[in-house]
């Protein structure tokens, strides 16, 4: 049986037997880095094409259909274009910060990949405070946006960056509270433990209404945290040209663009892990036959299926809803989402103490 964990274990043993423990660790780190970069590249290509197709279909258009069969190679052509473009630094910009900001946004996205369990027993770093680590690291992404906006020396960029700062700081709260709801129910911050607590049913089914509300709030908050429409105040094409990345071009722009899509992937992966059971297959109570059929589908397929379902949901939001104004955005967070998620957390805690979930 081929699975990611078998391949990883065999490689690990072979390396330890042949090159010694120090070099084995170094080689494993390099391999993990290459794997993450490859995943980034593939995700960028797939998600950009998916977004363009989804947006086209929702607007009854055709979408990309020229490059390659059914437009499948469109994102390769776009990447090629971005790679040969000139990477331009404006005269008045702070050179170091300006050039460093896109790399910081990608580094944050790469760090977030570490604790995610992609398949059964397959994880880069099994850390016992996985969920805390994710919420701590994801707040660094605002620094890259502020850095880009400030260093550009451009009023639109600065306004975009400031908006983004206000937005991410406020929406982090309700995202965190809805994550804590699951931590309370699962009783652990460790990601494999949280997944194993869902072996007999995903939290979204087991946790009654409080988890459902937490899920909705989580999705809203992470849409805001990744700066996607309807919360794309930081970019706001129609008012701020492109917000914090107005002055960027070529590959540096591409890194911001890639980081946005990778962040969407990561938050959807976290959502899938916490609420939809990670790589756990769908099991329904006592239907033995059905459960066994579901077990045959590989765990990585389950995980990626759930992630892409959530990504589709977030794209659906983007192409349905109009953009919020900045005051409406903060109203929504501080007057609606935060109080609701606090009460919701209380309910979930009572439910966890009473053991009323399934």
Least separation in angstroms between CB 54 and another protein: 7
In this complex, which beta carbon is closest to another protein, that of residue 247 or of residue 333? Answer: 333
Return residues touching another protein (CB under 8 A): 54, 56-62, 316-317, 319-321, 336, 340
Least separation in angstroms between CB 341 and another protein: 13
In this complex, which beta carbon is closest to another protein, that of residue 56 or of residue 282? Answer: 56
CB of 128 within 8 A of CB of 183?
no
Least separation in angstroms between CB 327 and another protein: 15
Q: Which of the 8 DSSP states describes residue 69? A: G
In this complex, which beta carbon is closest to another protein, that of residue 54 or of residue 143? Answer: 54
In this complex, which beta carbon is closest to another protein, that of residue 76 or of residue 336? Answer: 336
Tokens of 156: 């639109």
Query: What does each C-alpha distance from 34 to 31, 110, 177, 205, 278 come to in angstroms?
Result: 5, 11, 34, 37, 23
* Size of the chain, expressed as the number of residues it contains: 358
Beta bridge partners of residue 123, listed in sequence order: 117
How many whole angstroms separate alpha carbon 353 and alpha carbon 339?
21
Least separation in angstroms between CB 324 and another protein: 11
CB of 82 within 8 A of CB of 340?
no
Least separation in angstroms between CB 21 and another protein: 52
What does DSSP say about strands 122-123 and 117-119: parallel, antiparallel, or unpaired? Answer: antiparallel
Phi, psi of 123 (to 5 degrees): -155, 140
Q: Which of the 8 DSSP states describes residue 118? A: E
In this complex, which beta carbon is closest to another protein, that of residue 83 or of residue 342? Answer: 342
In this complex, which beta carbon is closest to another protein, that of residue 156 or of residue 231? Answer: 231
How many whole angstroms separate alpha carbon 211 and alpha carbon 144?
32
Least separation in angstroms between CB 337 and another protein: 10
């Amino acid at each position: 049986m081929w699975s990611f964990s078998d391949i990883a274990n065999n490689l690990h043993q072979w390396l330890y037997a042949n090159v010694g423990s120090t070099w084995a660790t170094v080689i494993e780190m390099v391999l993990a880095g290459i794997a993450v970069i490859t995943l980034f590249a593939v995700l960028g290509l797939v998600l950009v094409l998916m977004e363009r197709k989804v947006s086209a279909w929702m607007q009854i258009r055709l979408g990309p259909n020229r490059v390659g069969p059914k437009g499948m190679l469109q994102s390769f052509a776009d990447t090629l274009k971005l790679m040969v473009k000139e990477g331009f630094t404006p005269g008045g910009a702070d050179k170091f910060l300006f050039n460093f900001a896109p790399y910081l946004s990608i580094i944050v996205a790469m760090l977030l990949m570490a604790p995610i369990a992609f398949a059964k027993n397959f994880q880069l770093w099994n850390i016992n405070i996985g969920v805390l680590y994710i919420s701590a690291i994801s707040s660094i992404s605002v620094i890259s946006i502020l850095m880009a906006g400030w260093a550009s020396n451009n009023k639109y960029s600065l306004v975009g960056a400031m908006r983004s700062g206000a937005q991410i700081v406020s929406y982090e709260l309700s995202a965190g509270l809805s994550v804590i709801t699951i931590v309370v129910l699962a009783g652990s911050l460790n990601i494999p433990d949280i997944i194993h607590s869902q072996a007999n049913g995903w939290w979204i089914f087991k946790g009654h209404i409080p988890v459902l509300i937490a899920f909705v709030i989580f999705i809203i908050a992470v849409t805001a945290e990744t700066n996607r429409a309807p919360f794309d105040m930081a970019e706001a094409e129609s008012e701020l040209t492109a917000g914090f990345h107005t002055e960027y071009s070529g590959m540096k722009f591409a890194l911001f663009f890639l980081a946005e899509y990778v962040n969407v992937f990561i938050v959807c992966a976290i959502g899938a892990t916490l609420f939809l059971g990670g790589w756990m297959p769908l099991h329904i109570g006592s239907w033995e036959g059905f459960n066994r059929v579901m077990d045959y589908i590989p765990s990585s397929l389950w995980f990626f299926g759930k992630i892409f379902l959530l990504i589709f949901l977030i794209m659906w939001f983007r192409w349905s809803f109009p953009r919020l104004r900045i005051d409406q955005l903060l109203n929504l967070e501080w007057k609606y989402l935060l109080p609701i998620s606090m009460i919701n957390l209380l309910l979930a805690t009572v439910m966890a103490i009473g053991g009323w979930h399934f």
